[in-house]
Amino acid sequence: MSVDPSSHVWPSSHVWRFFRAGGFDQVRIETGADLLALEGLDQKLWVALACPAAGIEFDDRALAILDTDSDGRIRAAELLAAVRWLRAVLKDPEELVRPGDDLDLAAIDEASPEGALVLASARRILANLGKDGAGTIALADTRDTGRIFAQTHFNGDGVIPPEAADSGPVRALIGDIVACMGGVPDRSGLTGIDQGRVDAFFAEIAILAAWLRQGEAAGGDDRADAAAALEAVREKIDGFFLRCRLAAYSDSAAQAVNPSTDSFAALAALGVEQSLAALAPLPLARIAPNADLPLAEGLNPAWEAAMRRFRDLVAVPLLGPRTRLTARDWETVKDRFAAYAAWQAAKPSNRVGSLGRDRVLALQDGAPRAELEDLIARDKALEAEAAAIDAVEKLIVLRLHLFRLVNNFVSFRDFYNRRSKAIFQAGTLYLDGRSADLCVRVEDAARHALLATLSRIYLVYCDCQRRGSNEKMTIMAGFTSGESDQLMVGRNGVFYDRKGRDWDATIVRIVEHPISMRQAFWAPYKQLGRFVGNQVEKMAAARAKASEGEMQAQVAGGVGKPAAAKASEPAKESPFDAGRFAGIFAALGLAVGAIGTAIASVVTGFLRLVWWQMPLAVLALVLAVSGPSMVIAYMKLRQRNLAPILDATGWAVNARATINIPFGGSLTQLAHLPPGAERSLVDPFAEKRRPWGLYLLLAAGLAVAALAAWKVGLPARLGLG
């Protein structure tokens, strides 16, 4: 029954059950009855309405069967068409979810025309395979066409291989058609021809044969050698007679068109081959007013062989024996070959010319075409039976794979139950001490990232290649746990596909989003640490640069002062500036005192709290630092959505398939020591521990000393206050 998907009233009494996952309700498809009732489920409740027919982890034959219009996409309408066909063929819907790889013949509905045809074909297949009486049929049985059609060369596909012909002429004809028009694979695996190629072949034979017969009046192939000899010298002979007419027109032209003495003097130093190459551009013979062309003596040595061939094949057969060719003779020769040239120019360009003239004319006159077409007709007579075999294969393929596809299309059960991988998950990426299970194959990382960034998931794109082969692919991996500090373009990892094969993976692109609450908690402290570290590095660099400048200035000043002056000057000691030194000390003391006062105030205030208030104060301080970052990360993590990732690969996701924090954590596994593992905490190369307690005690002492100095007015006594 055809149902308008836009209708709100669905004629189905089937009771549906739903489960909650990904933030929305998804239908439970657990029985064959659920599957065959799919047409009664409102498509607004489907998770997806289309998926690509390639690039997913699913059976290729099942995808080809479901993609009825061969547009590279599996749509909801095509899925429902398969369900309707199954409903007409099966009487036991639970056959669709029964474990095992074979089909129980008792589940086929022989009361329906479709079911009766499939059942009869299944029994015929089993009988031909020597399994007459078997109650089940396997997918491999439907694909053993060699044994199914063992009694005949005909299998219903309309393709005839040479082996199907009994006579030699027909086999030779099939071979000619395959050689000229290309072959078609037969169901048996052999290469043959079909009716379309036969028609095209003989149509081209008729055109070429008509052209060959038209050429008989122009000499046909008998003049091929003569025509070639003529064309080889046509331009040179035309040039000779043109120059002779110029010589008759002007004495100056006669002198100009004949080679000069210098042209021949240059040949003295050349070999034979080089000399002939230098002579080739010169005229065929000496130019004189209205002169004749010699055919034997007096010719340009570079053209003697070509002119001899022209004389023997063209001039003498047409004009009779002669040693010279006049201009009128030359025009006669060209006129006699004009019809041949026009015929050659009209030669049809087709694929049967390689057979040769005699074979083409023989095929046109008496080819066993009728016998060949009779073989094709006998093969086509079994088309219905062969189609029934295809129907049996279709039923077994859908019985094996449709249930899984529906649970990755109408619902995303395989993805959200985490017991098995969804069909869009390409494998697992191991990188940076983590394994990422949300991996999808992509064609273009940049194009995919434009839409996939809306998923709010931290995405890593990797180029993958298998060592020792030319296999390459690009994947996108979603990282949903851990931190991003060590994820950067250029890092290498290993990707394991669904077949267990390992690929070298290199990060080529990153789309940054929050990964986890753990990362958000430590982010402010890491940012502060990086800021302080950067500032210290800048200060140290600036101080080092200033010290280097001062040192260079002192050295330059010392070198520039005369040596005599240095010797005469008495050594002077720099006076000790007590005031300046005291001022520096006081300033340092004030700074340390201020810090100490602040620390003391915080510590004093903290110690004045009641015991139960102390942890609350610490918690409040932590929340003040990490709270904003965690709130922002929490809001973004709750918005993570699978749909943009799949839409960018060709899916049409019909729901907001969210990935919440707990589920996202399961998609990326962090490294953990195995249960029961022994661990030694002794590291012989561990860094030496700093006496931070002593440092803090000294800092506190300096702070107290500075505070005491300030209390007694030491800065004022030193003239600093």
Chain Cα centroid distance, residue 32: 37
Contact indicator for 400, 82 with CB cutoff of 8 Å = no
Describe the crossing of helices 383-406 and 76-89 by its angle, rounded to 10 degrees.
Answer: 120
3-state secondary structure of 640: coil
Which uninterrupted H or E stretch holds 255?
helix 251-257
Taking alpha carbons only, the member of 216, 179, 213 closest to residue 365 is: 213
Contact indicator for 405, 62 with CB cutoff of 8 Å = yes
- Helices (runs of H) and strands (runs of E) counted in the chain: 28, 19
Other Cβ atoms closer than 10 A to 628: 13
pLDDT value for 68: 93
Contact indicator for 95, 106 with CB cutoff of 8 Å = no
What string of DSSP letters covers 403-457? HHHHTTTT--HHHHH-SS--TT--EEEEETTEEE-EEEEES-HHHHHHHHGGG-S
Which uninterrupted H or E stretch holds 192?
strand 191-192
Q: What are the Cα distances from residue 14, in Å, to 11, 31, 37? A: 9, 12, 7
3-state secondary structure of 3: coil
3-state secondary structure of 649: coil
Other Cβ atoms closer than 10 A to 216: 11
Contact indicator for 202, 369 with CB cutoff of 8 Å = yes
Describe the crossing of helices 113-128 and 76-89 by its angle, rounded to 10 degrees.
Answer: 80
**Structure tokens given for 311:** 């004389």
**Structure tokens given for 42:** 């409102």
Cα torsion for 328, 329, 332, 333, to the nearest 10°? -140
CA diameter of the chain: 141
Contact indicator for 248, 290 with CB cutoff of 8 Å = yes
- List 434's β-bridge partners, or say none: 431, 670
Contact indicator for 498, 427 with CB cutoff of 8 Å = yes
Q: Length of the chain in residues, anyone?
A: 721
pLDDT value for 720: 55
Quote the CA–CA distance of 363 and 174 in Å, as a whole number: 12
What string of DSSP letters covers 81-139? HHHHHHHHHBS-GGGGT-SSSSEEGGGB-TTSHHHHHHHHHHHHHHHHTT-TT-SEE-H
Quote the CA–CA distance of 19 and 415 in Å, as a whole number: 13
Which uninterrupted H or E stretch holds 508?
strand 502-511
Q: Which amino acid, 47?
A: V
pLDDT value for 59: 94
Quote the CA–CA distance of 209 and 197 in Å, as a whole number: 18
- Where do the domains of the chain lie? 18-122+383-415, 220-350
pLDDT value for 444: 94
**Structure tokens given for 568:** 């005469």
3-state secondary structure of 330: helix
Residue 43 is classified by DSSP as G
pLDDT tens column, 261-282: 777 877 877 888 888 888 888 8
Quote the CA–CA distance of 640 and 514 in Å, as a whole number: 10
**Interior angle at CA 343, CA 338 and CA 349, nearest 5:** 145
Contact indicator for 90, 429 with CB cutoff of 8 Å = no
Q: What are the Cα distances from residue 262, in Å, to 187, 276, 370? A: 76, 16, 73
Instruction: List, in order, residues 6 or more apart from 419 with CB less than 8 Å away.
Output: none
Quote the CA–CA distance of 519 and 371 in Å, as a whole number: 79
pLDDT value for 1: 38
- List 325's β-bridge partners, or say none: 293
Other Cβ atoms closer than 10 A to 287: 23
Residue 703 is classified by DSSP as H
Quote the CA–CA distance of 70 and 84 in Å, as a whole number: 19
3-state secondary structure of 187: coil
- Residue 365 has phi, psi (to 5 degrees) of -90, -40
CA-based torsion, 363, 366, 370, 375: positive or negative: negative
pLDDT value for 182: 92
Contact indicator for 65, 396 with CB cutoff of 8 Å = no
Ranges of residues in the chain whose predicted pLDDT is under 70: 1-12, 145-153, 188, 216-222, 517, 519-520, 522-530, 532-533, 536, 540, 543, 557-611, 613-614, 617-618, 621-627, 629-630, 633, 687-697, 700-701, 703-721
Quote the CA–CA distance of 90 and 392 in Å, as a whole number: 12
**Structure tokens given for 265:** 């003097």
- Residue 104 has phi, psi (to 5 degrees) of -80, 120
- Report, in this order, helix, strand and coil percent for the chain, each rounded to 5: 55, 10, 35
Contact indicator for 524, 626 with CB cutoff of 8 Å = yes
Chain Cα centroid distance, residue 557: 68
pTM comes to 0.62
Taking alpha carbons only, the member of 633, 650, 317 closest to residue 483 is: 633
**Structure tokens given for 448:** 């995919």
Residue with tokens 């709290």: 609
